[in-house]
Amino acid sequence: MTRRRVLIGLLSLGLLPLGLAACGFQPRGSQTLPPELRRVSLAGSQPSGLTQTLERLLRENGAEIVNSTPRPADTLLIRLSAVSIQRREALIDRQANVRQIELIQRAQLNVSRADGQVIITQEPFEAVRSASYNPLSLLAQGEEQQRLQRELDEQMAQTILARLKSAVRNSADLRSKPEGDRTGMSDIRSRLVQTTPAA
């Protein structure tokens, strides 16, 4: 390969990320945050991998996590509650042996502004992961369950982040309208709150 071809190849590799950015491509997990999500306070009813994963995603996407009080007026308050994990037998053979298990994670999302305006109230989320089960390899099963748990946290955190973006944008649109154009505002917010995303 000639030196010229080597240089062209290196230049192409260097320009590739710029080209992808120009066409709107973003790496998996990267989401453009609306201004309302640039500063958030995140809390959970109990410490969980889900809360930690959501905090990591928010940071990676440019959000500032506010842990101190009093909070700035533009802080969005995000709270995860009723976070739970359920394990169930998904597949049993003819000899009544368990062959597959499922992990089901559930949580509820509450979002409000620092001024007290409620955006989302107790919206339920659910994510499911399954894996084969071998009772003769308990150590391997423990490691597999931990892997499933990490996948559940990542899946649900991604879904919650997408839901947050949609909710704050809808809320911002309503706030920007003149008072006389806000007829049906409570009905719109009610439909927004009751929308449950697919896991």
Which domains can be identified in the chain, with CATH numbers?
Answer: 31-194 (3.30.160.150)
**pLDDT band per the 50, 70, 90 thresholds, residue 47:** confident
Q: Is the pLDDT of residue 38 over 50?
A: yes
Mean pLDDT of the chain: 75
Mean pLDDT for 98-108 is 85
Q: Is 69 exposed, middle or buried (0-12, 13-18, 19+ CB in 10 A)?
A: exposed
- Give pLDDT tens digits for 49-69: 999 999 999 999 999 999 888
What pLDDT does 54 receive? Answer: 96
Query: In this structure, what is the dihedral angle of CA atoms 106, 108, 109, 112, given to the nearest 10 degrees?
Result: -170
H/E run at residue 8: helix 3-22
Give the pLDDT confidence score for residue 156 in this predicted structure. 96
The burial of 167, by beta-carbon neighbours within 10 Å (0-12 exposed, 13-18 middle, 19 or more buried), is given as: buried
